[in-house]
Amino acid sequence: MAQHPSILLKNIKQPGQHTLSGYESRGGYSTIRKVLKMEPAKVTDEVKTSGLRGRGGAGFGCGVKWGFIPKGNTKPVYLINNADESEPGTFKDRVLLELDPHLVIEGMLICAWAVQSNWSCIYIRGEYGYPYTRIKAAVDEAYAKGYLGDNIFGTGFKHHMVVHRGAGAYICGEETALLNSLEGKKGQPRLKPPFFPAAIGLYGCPTIVNNTETLAALPWILENGGKAYAAIGTEKSTGTKLISASGHINKPGVYEIALGYPLLQFIEDECGGIRGGKKLKAVIPGGSSMPVLRADELAGVNIDYESLVKAGSHLGSGGFMVMDETTDMVEVALNVAHFYAHESCGQCTPCREGGHWIEKIFRRIAHGDGLGGDVQLVESICGQVAGHTICAFGEALSWPAQAFIRKFPDEFKHKIGDALVGIRSKRESLNFEYEGAH
């Protein structure tokens, strides 16, 4: 097995890869022609065999999700490409949208045939201006060539695709909030059940929502076979994963690795080690909503779903943030808390109120005004938020807050201790002045 198989990023540096002619010159759109001759159910079976899991964060089985469309369905089936890449530390989908947009479109067409969808939407975050122009131009090219529309590739299969820009809401990365946004409603998650839009989704119809990276893997899988994809990575974490590496490293960027790659080796061999020769302090492996891991917890940890869960975190969206020994973890905790307090959709009281409470407490600790019991108060609030909300946003704001406190307690105690000493000194000074005045 190759240590660094190139499936998604193979052609991104090739000239003109973002154009239809450049994409086709390297075999693009050949797989969908073959797929359109297959039974749709066989396509789904091949994806199930591959073991491909959703690359947006949840890691749910892609082919399994497709299978949730009700049998005997007579309603339209919709396909949504969740390109609302808003998780801090994550920027891998934008690489595909900018540099290989037709790969994304071909992947969507493969999915559309498998689930018999005649309409799809690429929901892209509003801040992605350049990626939007690239994917929109690619869609227009595909229409002009007859690869999208009423008779794609002359097969009689109809499929229309639109590109929709979001308005900058993190919560619209949650699939049911995304669907509400598309319907013109507030971008707020829906109550469950139904647990999957594949049963009741957009406009009450069966809807498949997949991440951009997930869909982009489909052409390779259908060209080379599900078993070939499953042979890459580990038994339960198959295939490759795009990792957005940032922070105190010498070579930040987007890397494609086989799942199961040793985490510390990834930092040294791919990311060029810690910047400035400093020591590694911590890593957030899957985007800011995932628990931080200390450097002394990383020995033997691999970059895959199971290994990171065992270590106490999650692979998430692959937003890999590296921090060196100079990092103030209280400040990091505050920065993360500020983001999630701001991005709550406001629908659930625990998130709407708890997020701001956590941020305010972290701010006073960071600014030297911490009080005894503040750490315990944050822990208590987190316990009242996680698991008590409509969607997983409650966990997204609670998990990192709890992890920073539990992994780096001395830094919080030190700042609170200094604050309490300062308060006592101030009181003693005031008492002395008061007594002296008499």
pLDDT at 419: 62
Pair 187, 170 in one domain: yes
Q: Are 370 and 415 in contact (CB under 8 A)?
A: yes
Quote the pLDDT of residue 392: 93
pLDDT band at 28 (very low <50, low <70, confident <90, very high): very high
Query: Quick one: 351 and 406 in the same domain?
Result: yes
Cβ 18 vs Cβ 12: under 8 Å: no
In a domain, 8, yes or no: no
Same structural domain, 75 and 209: yes
What average pLDDT does range 176-202 have in this prediction?
Answer: 93
Considering the domain architecture, whether residues 218 and 259 belong to the same structural domain is answered as no
* Residue 424 pLDDT exceeds 60: no
Q: Is the pLDDT of residue 159 over 80?
A: yes
Q: Would you say residue 124 lies in a domain? A: yes
Find the domain containing 254 and state its range. Answer: 240-324
Burial of 350 (0-12, 13-18, 19+ CB in 10 A): buried
Examine the domain organization and report whether 95 and 210 are in the same domain.
Answer: yes
12 inside domain = no
397 within a domain of the structure (yes/no): yes
Is 10 among the domain residues? no
Both 260 and 174 in one domain: the answer is no
Q: Are residues 34 and 72 in the same domain?
A: yes
CATH code, 278? 3.10.20.600
> pLDDT tens, 325-357?
999 999 999 999 999 999 999 999 999 999 999
Average pLDDT, integer, range 47-65: 92
Among the candidates 230, 256, 285, a domain finishes at 230
pLDDT 10s digits, 216-247? 999 999 999 999 999 999 999 999 999 999 99
Inside any domain, residue 245: yes
Same domain, 184 and 162: yes
Please tell me the predicted confidence (pLDDT) of residue 59: 85
pLDDT of 195 reads: 80
Any domain includes 205: yes
280 and 403 part of one domain = no
Does residue 37 lie within any of the structural domains? yes
Q: What is the gyration radius of the CA atoms in the chain, in angstroms?
A: 24
Clarify whether residues 66 and 177 are in a common domain: yes
pLDDT > 70? residue 423? no
Residue 417: pLDDT band with limits 50, 70, 90? confident
* Portion of the chain with pLDDT greater than 70, in percent: 94
Verify that 246 and 358 share a domain, yes or no. Answer: no
Residues 117 and 182 in one domain: yes
Q: How far apart are CA 180 and CA 162, in angstroms?
A: 17
Report helix angle 409-437 to 393-407, nearest 10. 70
Averaged confidence pLDDT in the chain: 93
- Cα angle 326, 330, 335 (rounded to 5 degrees) comes to 100
Number of domains in the chain: 3
Taking a C-beta distance cutoff of 8 angstroms, is the pair 219, 107 a contact?
yes
Question: Is the pLDDT confidence value at 53 over 90?
Answer: yes
The CATH number given to whatever domain includes residue 340 is 1.20.1440.230
Three-state SS letters, the chain:
CCCCCCCCCCCCCCCCCCCHHHHHCCCCCHHHHHHCCCCHHHHHHHHHHHCCECCCCCCCEHHHHHCCCCCCCCCCCEEEEEECCCCCCCCCHHHHHHHCHHHHHHHHHHHHHHHCCCEEEEEECCCCHHHHHHHHHHHHHHHHHCCCECCHHHCCCCEEEEEEECCCCHHHHCHHHHHHHHCCCCCCCCCCCCCCCCCCCHHHCCEEEEEHHHHHCHHHHHHHCHHHHHCCECCCCECEEEEEEEECECCCEEEEEECCEEHHHHHHHHCCCEHHHCCEEEEECCCCCCCCEEHHHCCCCEECHHHHHHHCCCCCCCEEEEEECCCCHHHHHHHHHHHHHHHCCCCCHHHHHHHHHHHHHHHHHHCCCCCCCHHHHHHHHHHHHCCCCCCCHHHHHHHHHHHHHHHCHHHHHHHHHHHHHHHHHHHHHHHHHHHHHC
Decide which of 279, 301, 324 is a domain's last residue.
Answer: 324
Cβ–Cβ under 8 Å, residues 153 and 197 = no
The Cα 211–Cα 54 span in angstroms is 7
Reported confidence tier of residue 194, pLDDT bands at 50, 70, 90: confident
